[in-house]
């Protein structure tokens, strides 16, 4: 009787294997695969952004990023080289813009995907890629083809960052053909050089439509006329972006030991209380 039970169990087991061998596991659909790789790339770029900030704080005097992303792997801020590649195009690494600093305008791109490898969920046939800017709140999606224009804009802006001639920087601001990133960088460089702004048209940019231009103008004007620049900077204190709030706070309340305001959960009421004390 015991032998019969064993035979029955063995027969059931063999039959189960035969049935399972005929069951086909459905292949991953292209839509699911695209979604999986899209999320993977999104979080990979977020991870690289965190690593860049850690490097700047620990090895870049709080300002400077590495000249090459591979440094992040060598220094163990990232676990492996594969983090530097998009899953949709594993042979193409993320495009990195070396030469930037943490205190540069937040509309500067620091990392992006080339070739728009992801399908858009908004419109059929539309392709997008991710881009990380210096506000580090993204990555944001950019449309297919825009990556080429963004690279061109950034190349021009990085050249502006190396410019030390006041007249050249002011001409960039006045030139309607210059892109917004070059103008933002021009305002940043004018501030770095300590150029007096009231002999120029820089105060006019406090009222620019672009929030990036108005904020950079406010930073440039602040050392010369704190009151004129404060309205723009106060508005930045309510921004949802941590880094924008932090930079405005440090400019308005330099030297203060209370930095609780820059935590994400702070309310406008608390911000107003600080401003009244000021």
Distances in whole angstroms, Cα of residue 244 to Cα of each of 17, 69, 237, 241: 61, 24, 7, 5
Distances in whole angstroms, Cα of residue 149 to Cα of each of 6, 114, 177: 72, 11, 14
Report the 10 Å Cβ neighbour count for 204. 10
E strand intervals along the chain: 85-86, 89-93, 95-96, 109-112, 118-119, 127-133, 140-143
Task: Tell me what pLDDT residue 267 has.
Answer: 42
Question: What is the residue range of 75's domain?
Answer: 30-144
Asked whether residue 234 is assigned to any structural domain, the reply reads no
Task: Tell me what pLDDT residue 262 has.
Answer: 59
- Residue 260: half-sphere exposure toward Cβ, Cα within 13 Å: 8
- Digitized pLDDT (tens) for each residue of the chain, 278 residues in all: 445 666 666 667 667 666 656 655 555 556 666 677 778 888 889 999 999 999 999 999 989 999 999 999 999 999 888 888 887 788 888 999 999 999 999 999 999 998 877 777 677 778 888 999 998 887 888 888 899 999 999 999 999 999 999 999 999 999 999 999 999 999 999 999 998 888 788 999 999 989 899 999 999 998 888 888 888 888 777 777 777 777 777 777 776 665 656 555 554 565 666 655 55
Alpha helices in 162-259 (DSSP H): 166-174, 180-193, 211-221, 226-236, 242-252
Beta bridge partners of 130: 141
DSSP 180-192: HHHHHHHHHHHHH
As for how many domains the chain has, the answer is: 1
Asked whether residue 5 is assigned to any structural domain, the reply reads no
Report the 10 Å Cβ neighbour count for 133. 20
Task: Tell me what pLDDT residue 117 has.
Answer: 78
Beta bridge partners of 205: none
Q: Which of 137, 134, 169 is nearest to 154 (CA)?
A: 134
Asked whether residue 202 is assigned to any structural domain, the reply reads no
Q: What is the pLDDT of residues 93-105, one digit of tens each?
A: 899 999 999 999 9
Asked whether residue 38 is assigned to any structural domain, the reply reads yes
Task: Tell me what pLDDT residue 124 has.
Answer: 75
Asked whether residue 115 is assigned to any structural domain, the reply reads yes
Asked whether residue 1 is assigned to any structural domain, the reply reads no
Measured distance CA(43)–CA(241) in Å, rounded: 18
- Residue 228: exposed, middle, or buried by beta-carbon count in 10 A (0-12, 13-18, 19+)? middle
pTM: 0.79
Answer yes or no: are the C-beta atoms of 137 and 241 closer than 8 Å. yes
Asked whether residue 105 is assigned to any structural domain, the reply reads yes
């Amino acid at each position: 009787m015991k032998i019969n039970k064993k035979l029955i169990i063995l027969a059931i087991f063999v039959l189960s294997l035969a049935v399972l061998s005929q069951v086909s596991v459905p292949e991953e659909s292209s839509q699911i695969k695209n979604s999986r790789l899209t999320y993977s790339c999104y979080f990979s770029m977020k991870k690289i952004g965190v690593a860049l900030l850690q490097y700047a704080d620990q090895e870049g005097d709080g300002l400077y990023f590495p000249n090459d992303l591979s440094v992040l792997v060598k220094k163990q801020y990232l676990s492996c080289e594969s983090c530097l590649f998009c899953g949709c195009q594993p042979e193409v690494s993320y495009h990195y813009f070396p030469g930037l600093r943490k205190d540069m305008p937040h509309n500067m791109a620091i990392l992006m995907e080339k070739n728009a490898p992801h399908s858009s969920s908004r419109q059929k046939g539309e392709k997008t890629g991710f881009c990380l800017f210096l506000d580090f709140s993204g990555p944001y999606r950019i449309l297919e083809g825009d990556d080429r224009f963004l690279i061109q804009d950034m190349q021009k802006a990085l050249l502006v960052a190396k410019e030390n001639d006041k007249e050249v920087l002011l001409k960039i601001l006045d030139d309607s053909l210059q892109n917004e990133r070059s103008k933002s960088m021009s305002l940043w460089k004018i501030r770095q050089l300590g150029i007096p702004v009231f002999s120029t048209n820089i105060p006019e940019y406090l009222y620019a439509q672009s929030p990036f231009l108005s904020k950079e103008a406010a930073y440039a004007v602040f050392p010369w006329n704190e009151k004129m620049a404060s309205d723009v900077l106060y508005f930045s204190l309510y921004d949802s972006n941590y880094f924008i709030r932090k930079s405005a706070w440090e400019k308005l309340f330099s030297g203060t030991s209370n930095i609780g305001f820059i935590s994400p959960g702070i309310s406008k009421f608390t911000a107003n209380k600080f401003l009244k004390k000021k």
